[in-house]
Amino acid sequence: MTETIKQSLRDSKTARWIALGLISLTMFFAYFFVDVVAPLKNLLEQEPYLWSNETFGMLGGSEFFLNVFAGFLILSGIILDKMGIRFTLRLSGALMLLGGTIKWYALTTGFATSSMAIWLNSFIPSVPASAKLAFFGFAIFGVGIEMAGITVSKAIVKWFKGKELALAMGLEMAIARLGVFAVFQLSPIFAKNGGVSNSLYFGVLFLIVGFLSFLIFTFMDSKLDKEIDEDEEESHEEEFKVSDLGKILTNPGFLAIAGLCVLFYSAIFPFQKFASDMLSSKLEIDYIIASRYVSFFPIGAMILTPFIGAFLDFKGKGATMMMYGAILLTISHLIFALVPNAAFTTFTAIFTIVILGTAFSLVPASMWPSLPKIVEERYLGSAYGLIFYIQNIGLLLVPMLIGYALSASNPGVAEQIKMGVEGVRYNYTVPELIFAGFGVAAIILSLVLRSIDKKKGYGLDLPNKK
């Protein structure tokens, strides 16, 4: 009789996997929107946009501007710990939709002739008005998606702790990565049939569906709380205090994972922004074909991440997996940087993209389930917020660094492309060496993390399932 009373919604396999599916669907659409213009870099360099490499890099960085300089990610973690999962999910979904809509409007033909565009052109004329408004919208979207990321992580811990935690996190990441596959397949097609703004239009429609999916999940989560009387339970626990941020920031395990996170993601997400143009240049092919090749990037992650998650649940080896992922990351970028164009075939391109995707499955799949082993659950939301904040510093600066490095290492190329000169391509050797450098640093830090784990006894290499 006692066992029956203790049963809750999360004890039902069907219910908890449906809950995971709902939040994963939203993240699928969110990841689609993140890279919706990534395959369209060459279109943004032409009329009517005339964006430079630096401007395109600034767009990638603008997603993280408010999170870094206004501290919204730290605030998001505090909101999550104070206000709870459901409130934060609704807020994050609304922010993604608002920011996405602004970004879409910035790239429509109607905006180009609007009074707002004329006003925006009155300052910093070297940056097009469409880019300035797109930066603003993407920054708001960035607050929403990063807030969603930390909230989804805490929600999965809530529903799957002591069960299939790493597998659940792995599946959520695999579904989200499927959004990357979809965007590189579909965005060029949408743009071909209606311009850049058409791709953004479909992206906004997807965000609406994702917002509704979040709402449905919150109803399930509310029912779970009523069943386990969680609000009453939490009232007896020590509440989160802002001073607890100091405890997180002085935790050596947290600092090592945060450093590994920023290095690893800085070699992944900024790469995605430039990947289609890089392959188009290196293989001398059309951007639509190049985008299809890039779409294979998440294949390795989608296939392997759930299996890696299950392995971590039952066998462990989380810290070891992070090291292997950093090694594969470095090898992939060195291939892009050092293999001559004459020897760089379509097979080489797709194979290297898949290897990079495999690295993308190893590190996050082992990193995020490791954090609950390092910090207390009562400030887990703030810990995720802080680690995402540190990650966002890199994601803000690296796209701008890559845009600058691309122009500096290819003098005169951007001007020739704007003039419509045929056959002019960028050389991506320097940007790829920068990405590879991040990978080398990540390998070193993964070794440091393993050393810390042995000293502190976090159990990062131990199984998650109890």
237 pLDDT higher than 50 = no
Q: Report residue 141's pLDDT band, with 50, 70 and 90 as the boundaries.
A: very high
- SS3 (DSSP) at 252: helix
The region of weakest confidence among 30-34, 100-104, 250-254 is 250-254
Domains of the chain, with CATH numbers? 13-456 (1.20.1250.20)
**Residue range 105-127, pLDDT digits in tens:** 999 988 888 899 889 988 888 88
Across the chain, mean pLDDT equals: 86
First to last CA, the chain: 23
Sorted by sequence, the CB contacts under 8 Å of residue 258 that are 6+ apart come out as 386, 387, 390, 391
Q: What percent of the chain has pLDDT over 90?
A: 42
pLDDT at residue 194, rounded to an integer:
87
Residue 361: pLDDT band (50, 70, 90) is confident
Cα–Cα distance for residue pair 185/167, rounded to 1 Å: 27
**Range in 73-77, 184-188, 255-259 with the lowest mean pLDDT:** 73-77
The continuous run of DSSP H or E covering 93 comes out as helix 85-106
Torsion sign (Cα): 128, 266, 198, 101: negative
Contact 323/446 with Cβ under 8 angstroms?
yes
Written as six digits, the tokens of 138 are: 């993407």
The pLDDT score that the predictor gives to residue 272 is 87
pLDDT of residue 138: 95
Q: What is the pTM of this model?
A: 0.78
Return the minimum-mean-pLDDT range out of 27-41, 138-152, 261-275, 413-427: 413-427
Name the pLDDT band for 239 (thresholds 50, 70, 90): low
Structural Rg of the chain based on CA atoms: 22
Beta strand residue intervals within 101-141, DSSP E: none
State the pLDDT at residue 4. 44
> Using one digit for the tens of pLDDT, what is the confidence trace for 379-427?
777 787 788 788 888 888 999 999 999 999 999 888 887 777 777 889 9
AA identity, residue 320 = T
pLDDT of residue 466: 59
Sign (positive or negative) of CA dihedral 381, 386, 391, 394: positive
- Highest mean pLDDT out of 170-179, 201-210, 361-370: 201-210
- Would the CA dihedral through 274, 196, 100, 121 be positive or negative? positive
